[in-house]
């Protein structure tokens, strides 16, 4: 690093270059337009859309959210207008931003849906990457794709054949061994991994003895899940070579740094967007300050820089 | 829709009204200028992660550069808010949501009236509505306005004087009969709807009350604008956490609402 120079916050995910490693996480940022009054969206490293499905999804019955100690549960259930309406009504605004656009997609019934979804997205050149959401806990399924290494490999492998875009696989923490799933996704051709999705959870109204959420249980997010996420990023980092996009309860630069040090190449901010819409930009500037103060010339030197005592 | 702002501001006043009911006033010229009746602000009461989420509170009125809010202390977050002193800082997002619609041209004749129905803390946005109706030149504002306020007991009847100062007649209902009619405010509403045919009903209060208001309005074919409350996170239509069932599918209370026409809602 040149003495007076600024550190390089750029990060590379295969052929995709991000000017900085901070993204807004899927499901917490709508289609970005919702936040246009509150921040300069062009400063984001990337934006990940709310998950899109083939058909419109009305989502789950209310109440869909409730607060928990330092966190929240949601059971939104992937409410979205479907791929065609997404392309005709939401894409124009996102394209104009000029920042890498990552479209999150999910299949409701069968992985075959990914084929049609990719078919519709592949031609849109502004879409830099596809995030495969195979880890949403709100689909009322007995088992998620990302809860089985074989299923994960099959879906990632099939989608890999269909797209030349960067492929990011989003993993669930609700598994026995996340590294098995991570390695399966890597072997099947995923360019990067996003972890973690929400943790399955439940809250009960003890006065009425009913679940607090309309669909009984939901996904836990926010600072409460952060230590779980950091550990999983660290575990996965030690087993794979592709970049990790770390997320789970990041509130500020301090908590974002934990993820980088554990092994993340980039981070996604989720729940905090509801609380502090300026958080992503605060993390970008805080990260730059930290790198200057610690003489870290580029981000790759920070990723996985955890120091361990030798025993 | 007016621009949404996030700002740090100072509390001007934060005092008790009756037991858990409190009055809050803070400075914000941009929210004061842009706010419409029925809109709300989303307040972060602490910089820590517990409580994590903001709390949505209806805008109760505007006084120059100041914004007025009423709230009830129900849990940790509102407890923290209640402990704040004038001069303490507050993180506010607003103004948010779709408020009351004063332009909807009801088939008004001179004999028709607006009925405002408030239940408990639901009185908060209705004072701002009444003040705006008083100043408004829309057709709806030319009709007489009658205000019905209901609460458990006398001490929880708020803002009677504010409505009367605007020249609106006020009727009270309390569950225990400690003031006015003994019974539900919706019983009062039903008796009014029996005698006259109001042109428009505006209401805010607990959900069962709003449902009863919607039912009464539907029976007489009177349009009713109801301000709803729901657990909420972002307040700007991004998380889709606060939806209600409507004839057009799920709609967000924070962005599509909080005010909905009764005829659109599915209870």
A3 in any annotated domain: no
pLDDT value of position B249: 96
Taking the Cβ of residue A81 and every Cβ of chain B, the question of whether any pair is shorter than 8 Å is answered with no
pLDDT value of position B195: 79
The answer to whether the CB atoms of B6 and A28 lie below 8 A apart is no
pLDDT value of position A2: 47
Catalytic one of A66, A136, A177, A280: A136
A310 in any annotated domain: no
A52 in any annotated domain: yes
pLDDT value of position A1: 46
| Closest CB from B3, B233, B236 relative to A34 | B236
pLDDT value of position A127: 96
B147-203, pLDDT tens digit by residue?
999 999 999 999 999 999 999 999 999 999 999 999 999 999 998 887 778 889 999
Q: For the residues B225-239, what does the mean pLDDT come to?
A: 96
Taking the Cβ of residue B1 and every Cβ of chain A, the question of whether any pair is shorter than 8 Å is answered with no
pLDDT value of position B108: 57
B37-72, pLDDT tens digit by residue?
999 999 999 999 999 999 999 999 999 999 999 999
Range of the domain at A181: 11-301
**Is the per-residue pLDDT at B111 higher than 80?**
no
| Closest CB from B51, B250, B255 relative to A59 | B250
Mean pLDDT score across all residues of chain B: 93
Name, in order, each residue with C-beta under 8 angstroms of B39's C-beta and a sequence gap of 6 or more.
B58, B59, B94, B95, B96, B97, B98, B99, B125
pLDDT value of position A311: 62
A222 in any annotated domain: yes
Q: Which residues of A touch B238 (CB under 8 A)?
A: 28-30, 34-35, 273-274
* Burial of A251 from C-beta contacts in 10 A (0-12 / 13-18 / 19+): buried
Domains held by chain A: number:
1
Give the minimum alpha-carbon distance from A57 to chain B in angstroms, rounded to a whole number: 10
The residues in B 6-25 lying below 8 A from A, measured between CB atoms, are 6
Taking the model in full, what pTM does it have? 0.94
> In order of start, what are the domains of chain B with their CATH numbers?
5-96 (2.40.30.10), 113-264 (3.40.50.80)
Q: Which residues of B touch A34 (CB under 8 A)?
A: 234, 236-238, 255
A108 in any annotated domain: yes
A5 in any annotated domain: no
Of residues A134, A136, A38, A36, the one with CA closest to residue A79: A136
pLDDT value of position A45: 97
A2 in any annotated domain: no
CATH value at residue A73: 3.20.20.70
The answer to whether the CB atoms of B52 and A276 lie below 8 A apart is no
A136 is catalytic: yes
How much is the ipTM here?
A: 0.92
Residues of chain A with pLDDT under 70: 1-4, 140, 311
The answer to whether the CB atoms of A64 and B241 lie below 8 A apart is yes
pLDDT value of position A294: 95
A4 in any annotated domain: no
């Amino acid at each position: 690093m040149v003495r007076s120079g600024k550190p390089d916050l750029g990060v590379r995910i295969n052929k995709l270059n991000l000017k900085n490693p901070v993204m807004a996480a899927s499901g917490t940022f709508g289609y970005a337009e919702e936040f246009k009054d509150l921040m300069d969206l062009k400063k984001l490293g990337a934006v990940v859309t709310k998950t899109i499905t083939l058909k419109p999804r009305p989502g789950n019955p209310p109440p869909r959210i409730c607060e928990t100690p330092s966190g929240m549960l949601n059971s939104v259930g992937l409410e979205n207008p479907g791929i065609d309406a997404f392309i005709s009504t939401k894409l124009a605004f996102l394209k104009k931003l000029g920042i890498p656009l990552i479209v999150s997609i999910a299949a409701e019934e069968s992985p075959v849906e990914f084929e049609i979804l990719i078919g519709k997205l592949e031609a849109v050149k502004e879409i830099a990457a596809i995030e495969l959401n195979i880890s949403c806990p709100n689909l009322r399924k007995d088992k998620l794709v990302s809860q089985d290494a074989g299923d994960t490999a099959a879906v990632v492998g099939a989608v890999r054949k269909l797209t030349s875009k960067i492929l990011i696989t989003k993993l669930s923490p609700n598994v026995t061994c996340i590294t098995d799933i991570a390695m399966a996704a890597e072997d099947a051709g995923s360019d990067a991994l996003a972890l973690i999705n929400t943790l399955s959870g439940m809250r009960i109204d003890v006065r009425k003895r009913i679940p607090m959420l309309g669909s009984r249980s939901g996904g836990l997010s926010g600072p409460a899940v952060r230590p779980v996420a950091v550990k999983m990023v660290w575990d996965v980092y030690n087993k794979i070579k592709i970049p990790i996009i770390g997320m789970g309860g990041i509130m500020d630069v301090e908590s974002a740094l934990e993820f980088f040090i554990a092994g993340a190449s980039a981070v996604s901010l989720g729940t905090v967007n509801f609380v502090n819409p300026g958080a992503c930009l605060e993390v970008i500037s805080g990260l730059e300050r930290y790198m200057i103060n610690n003489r870290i010339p580029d981000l790759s030197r920070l990723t996985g820089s955890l120091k361990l005592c030798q025993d | 829709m007016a621009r949404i702002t996030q700002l740090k501001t100072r509390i001007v006043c934060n005092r008790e009204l009756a037991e858990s009911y409190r009055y809050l006033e803070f400075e914000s010229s941009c929210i004061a200028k842009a706010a419409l009746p029925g809109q709300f602000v989303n307040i972060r009461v602490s910089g820590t992660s517990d409580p994590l989420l903001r709390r949505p509170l209806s805008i109760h009125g505007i006084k120059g550069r100041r914004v007025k809010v009423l709230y009830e202390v129900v849990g940790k977050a509102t407890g923290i808010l209640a402990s704040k002193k004038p001069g303490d800082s507050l993180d506010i997002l607003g103004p948010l949501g779709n408020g009351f619609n004063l332009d909807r041209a009801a088939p008004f004749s001179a004999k028709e009236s607006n009925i405002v129905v408030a239940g408990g803390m639901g009185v908060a946005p209705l004072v701002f509505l009444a003040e705006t109706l008083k100043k408004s030149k829309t057709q709806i504002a030319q009709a007489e306005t009658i205000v019905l306020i209901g609460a458990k007991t006398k001490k929880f009847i708020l803002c009677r004087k504010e409505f009367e100062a605007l020249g609106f007649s006020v009727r009270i209902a309390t569950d225990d009969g400690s003031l006015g009619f003994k019974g539900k405010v919706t019983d009062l509403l039903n008796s009014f709807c029996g005698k006259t045919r109001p042109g428009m009903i505006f209401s805010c209060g607990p959900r069962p009350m709003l449902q009863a208001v919607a039912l009464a309005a539907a029976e007489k074919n009177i349009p009713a604008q109801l301000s709803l409350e729901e657990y909420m996170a972002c307040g700007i239509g991004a998380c889709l956490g606060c939806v209600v069932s409507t004839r057009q599918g799920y709609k967000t209370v924070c962005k599509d609402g909080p005010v909905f026409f009764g005829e659109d809602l599915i209870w």
